C-alpha cells in the first residue's frame, strides 16, 4: 500500500509512518518508535496524541506504550467522516447553484430543465435522497430497466429511519411481477407511505419542492433510462400537482401480512385486490389457497352488495375501508 494513501484522509506522512510501525510492531514507547520508524524524537508525542484522537492508536498508561487499533474499523470511521465532509460540500454546491439558477431562470429556459443519463442520473438521485429535508414523492410504473435490488434501497431505508417521508404511487402493473411486489411490500414495512392506482401516466420523482426528475424513455429496450431534471418553475408546480392528484386517487398499501378473521373488515384482501394482484398472487401473499381467496372474494362481494372488483373498490372506499 502506498505511503500516500492514509494522507488522503487527513493523516500526515509522519503520522502514517508511526502508525504503520505500530501495526508491524505493537506496544512501543515513544522513544522506541523514534528508533524503529527512523524519525527524529521531536514532536512524536504530539503526533501520537493526534493518532489517538483519530482513533488509530491506543495508549497503555501504566506501561507508557502505544499500540495500533484495528486498522479496518478505525480507518473506515475516518473514511466516513471524510465522505460526510465531501457530501456536505456537494450539498452546499447544489444550494449555491440553485441560487445562481434562480437569478437566471426568468429569461433562460436551459436553467430550468436538463437531460440526465447514466452516472449523472445516478449521482442526482443519490444527492436528491441525501439533500431532501421534508419528503420525497414518486410515481412508479413499468418499464423497469433493472431487476429489483433491495440493496440499492438502503439509502431510502436510512433516510426514512431519520424521519424523511417517502410517498410513492404505484401503478397496478407493478404487481404483476412477484419480485417487484416483494420490493414494494418491503419498502412499506420499512415505513414507506404507498398507494396504488390504475394507469399511472409517468414516472416522476419530486425532492421537496427543489427539483423533479421525469423519465422520458418509453420502454426498456434502451440500455438505460433518460430523465429530465426540472428545477423550480411552473413545470415543477404542475408535476407536483399531478402527483398530489394521483395520490388522492390511490388506495393505501398496507404493510401487515396478517389474514383477516371472520367479522373483520378485510383490509388486507381489499388492498391486494386494489393492487391488481391475481387470485394466485393474493393467495401467496396471504398464505392461503387460491380456493380460499376466491371464497373470501365472493363473501366480500355479498357483504358489499357488488358484482366485480371495481365495484368492490368503490364501495369499500365509500365505507372508509381503504
Query: Residue 158's domain is classified under what CATH number?
Result: 3.30.870.10
Residues 230, 125 share a domain: yes
Domain count, the chain: 3
Q: What is the SS3 assignment for 32-68?
A: HHHHHCCCCCCCHHHHHHHHHHCCCEEEECCCCEEEE
- Residues 191, 160: contact at Cβ < 8 Å? yes
> Which residue has cell 510492531?
25
Residues 176, 76 share a domain: no
Local structure of residue 143 (DSSP, 8 states): -
**Tens digits of residue pLDDT in 280-304:** 878 877 778 888 888 888 888 888 8
- Strand ranges in 158-290 using DSSP code E only, listed in sequence order: 165-171, 193-197, 204-207, 211-215, 227-230, 251-252
Residues 216, 121 share a domain: yes
Residues 135, 102 share a domain: no
Residues 125, 93 share a domain: no
Residues 136, 28 share a domain: no
3 or 9: whose pLDDT is higher? 9
- Residues 249, 172: contact at Cβ < 8 Å? no
Residues 224, 119 share a domain: yes
**Tens digits of residue pLDDT in 195-233:** 988 889 999 999 999 999 999 876 655 567 889 999 888
**Tens digits of residue pLDDT in 133-163:** 999 999 999 888 888 889 889 999 999 999 9
Query: Residue 303's domain is classified under what CATH number?
Result: 1.10.10.10
Quick check: is 257 in a domain?
no
Residues 122, 96 share a domain: no
Quick check: is 258 in a domain?
no
Which of the listed residues 67, 91, 111 is the one where a domain comes to its end?
Answer: 111
- Strand ranges in 131-192 using DSSP code E only, listed in sequence order: 135-140, 165-171
**Tens digits of residue pLDDT in 99-138:** 776 666 555 556 688 898 888 898 999 989 999 999 999 9
**Helix 178-190, helix 154-161: angle, nearest 10:** 20
Look up the domain containing 224 and give its range.
112-252
Residues 208, 178 share a domain: yes
Residues 119, 206 share a domain: yes
Q: How far apart are CA 267 and CA 244, in angstroms?
A: 23
Quick check: is 260 in a domain?
no
Quick check: is 76 in a domain?
yes
Q: Say what the pTM is.
A: 0.56
Quick check: is 262 in a domain?
no
Amino acid at each position: 500500500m502506498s505511503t500516500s494513501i492514509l494522507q488522503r484522509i487527513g493523516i500526515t506522512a509522519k503520522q502514517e509512518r508511526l502508525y504503520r510501525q505500530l501495526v508491524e510492531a505493537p506496544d512501543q514507547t515513544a522513544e522506541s518508535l523514534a528508533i524503529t520508524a527512523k524519525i527524529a524524537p521531536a514532536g512524536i508525542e504530539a503526533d501520537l496524541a493526534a493518532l489517538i484522537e483519530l482513533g488509530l492508536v491506543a495508549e497503555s498508561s501504566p506501561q507508557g506504550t502505544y499500540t495500533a487499533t484495528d486498522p479496518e474499523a478505525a480507518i473506515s470511521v475516518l473514511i466516513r467522516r471524510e465522505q460526510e465532509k465531501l457530501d456536505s460540500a456537494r450539498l452546499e454546491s447544489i444550494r449555491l447553484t440553485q441560487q445562481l439558477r434562480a437569478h437566471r431562470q426568468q429569461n433562460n429556459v436551459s436553467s430550468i430543465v436538463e437531460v440526465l443519463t447514466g452516472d449523472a442520473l445516478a449521482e442526482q438521485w443519490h444527492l436528491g435522497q441525501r439533500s431532501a429535508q421534508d419528503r420525497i414523492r414518486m410515481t412508479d410504473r413499468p418499464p423497469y430497466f433493472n431487476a429489483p435490488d433491495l440493496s440499492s434501497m438502503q439509502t431510502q431505508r436510512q433516510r426514512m429511519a431519520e424521519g424523511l417521508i417517502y410517498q410513492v404511487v404505484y401503478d397496478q402493473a407493478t404487481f404483476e411481477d412477484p419480485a417487484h411486489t416483494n420490493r414494494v411490500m418491503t419498502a412499506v414495512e420499512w415505513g414507506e407511505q404507498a398507494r396504488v392506482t390504475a394507469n399511472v401516466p409517468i414516472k416522476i420523482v419530486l425532492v421537496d419542492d427543489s427539483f423533479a426528475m421525469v423519465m422520458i424513455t418509453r420502454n426498456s429496450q434502451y440500455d438505460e433510462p433518460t430523465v429530465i431534471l426540472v428545477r423550480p418553475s411552473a413545470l415543477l408546480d404542475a408535476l407536483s400537482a399531478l402527483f398530489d392528484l394521483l395520490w388522492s386517487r390511490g388506495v393505501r398499501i398496507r404493510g401487515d401480512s396478517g389474514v383477516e378473521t371472520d367479522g373483520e373488515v378485510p383490509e388486507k384482501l381489499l388492498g391486494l385486490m386494489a393492487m391488481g394482484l391475481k387470485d394466485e398472487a393474493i393467495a401467496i401473499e396471504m398464505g392461503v389457497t387460491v380456493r380460499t381467496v376466491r371464497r373470501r372474494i365472493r363473501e366480500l362481494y355479498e357483504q358489499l352488495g357488488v358484482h366485480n372488483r371495481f365495484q368492490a373498490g368503490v364501495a369499500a372506499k365509500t365505507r372508509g375501508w381503504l
